[in-house]
Chains A and B, each alone.
Chain A
Amino acid sequence: MDALDGNALAGPLADHFGAEVTAAWGVCRFCNTPAQVAQLRVYVSGPGTIARCPSCASVVLALVQTRGAVQVHHGSFALTPDPPG
């Protein structure tokens, strides 16, 4: 299946962070490459939606559907306040 991108997560992430984050930069914990949330590769699965680093494909964000709510796991994508460089 073709991946979507982080634009598709704008709503759920705004619910979670209380802020619009698709333009925000973050660093992949696994390969240290910076990317904007909108550039993450997003895969829709049954139990949840997975966002992967566009450079190394590691899972950096997971939005998991549980008991009527969505849990956002973002421990592998360190959001940075400023663009890189």
Chain B
Amino acid sequence: MVGTALSGRLTWQLAKVVDVIDETPRCKSIAFEVPDWAGHRAGQHVDIRLTAEDGYVAQRSYSIASAPEDDRLVLTVERLDDGEVSPYLTEELREGDQIELRGPIGGYFVWDEPLGGPLALIAGGSGIVPLRAMVRHWAAGPRDASVSLLYSSRSLRDVIYSDELEQYDGDNIKVQFALTREWPSDWAGHRGRVDQGLLASAIPRPSERTLAYICGPTAFVEAVSQALVGIGHEPGRIKTERFGPSGS
């Protein structure tokens, strides 16, 4: 039974682009129609495979930005200046195009409602993508677990899903932003890098057995992970996913 389910997910299928949404100057969300999509868990990713006319093949993984409850599968892609695949996905791909996709993939960096909380979601740059899927999944459920989302970006124009995330802030969920390179003069969020002091005030105390998910560039993930352990969080309740280098 498990074997069958997995083999379905490992099979490449053609996904059709049904919408392309500008998120930030560097990021686009792409909505897909996937004929045999079996559903997914928040935090999982898909593999994309592109084939050029001369047979050249490139394959990449992208975290799923949509929640299992959403009606379309959505990926959010950041354009890397020297990328091979991201410039194609963010600048060339259009509605009606079909590309090969398989998934969902991943069983470690996932959160679903039964896992409970309190939940600390800490994102650096495009690391927000799988965490946004988790927030959407949380929002579609009973919202029993308390959520603290801390999202670090270089500047205001780099914040993905800013309107959506801002409007979550409220009952049982706290959403905070940090800007590391530039911020408006009236910026009320955190200024500068995420540090131990910010983490201690932003997320529930370790004694509450907080379940933490950290995602973003490697240096960010390692610094935040070490800081959390430093203020007493259990290493076994910290899950991390390191992305490759961010756009410049």
Contact = CB atoms under 8 A, between A and B. Distances in A.
* A touches B in complex, CB < 8 A: yes
Interface of A: 2-8, 10-11, 14-15, 18-23, 36-39
A14 B108 CA distance: 13
Interface centre among A7, A36, A38 (most CB of B within 10 A): A7
B196 interface: no
Contacts of A8: 61, 242
B2 interface: yes
Size range of the chain B interface in the assembly: 20 to 34
7 contacts: A2-B245, A4-B242, A11-B61, A14-B6, A22-B107, A22-B108, A38-B239
Contacts of B107: 10, 20-23
Interface of B: 2-3, 6-7, 9-10, 45, 47, 61, 102, 105-109, 217-219, 239-245
Contact of B108 (A3, A11, A15, A23): A23
Nearest to A6: B108
Nearest to A19: B6
A10 B105 contact: yes
Nearest to A17: B6
B106 A19 contact: no
A21 B245 CA distance: 25
B188 to A, nearest CB: 31
A22 B9 CA distance: 15
A3 B219 CA distance: 9
Contacts of B242: 2-5, 7-8
A77 B208 CA distance: 34
A19 B244 CA distance: 25
B218 A3 contact: yes
Nearest to A5: B242
A22 B6 contact: no
Contacts of A4: 218, 242-244
Closest 9 CB pairs of A and B: A2-B218, A38-B108, A22-B108, A20-B107, A23-B108, A23-B107, A10-B105, A5-B242, A11-B47
A68 to B, nearest CB: 10
Nearest to B220: A2
B91 to A, nearest CB: 24
Q: Which of B10, B108, B218, B244 has the most CB of A within 10 A?
A: B108
A22 B217 CA distance: 19
Contacts of A39: 240
Contacts of A19: 2-3, 6
A18 B106 contact: no
B216 to A, nearest CB: 11
A84 to B, nearest CB: 10
A47 to B, nearest CB: 16
Contacts of A6: 108
B108 to A, nearest CB: 4
A36 B108 contact: yes
A22 B106 contact: yes
B6 A11 contact: no
Contact of A11 (B105, B239, B243, B244): B105
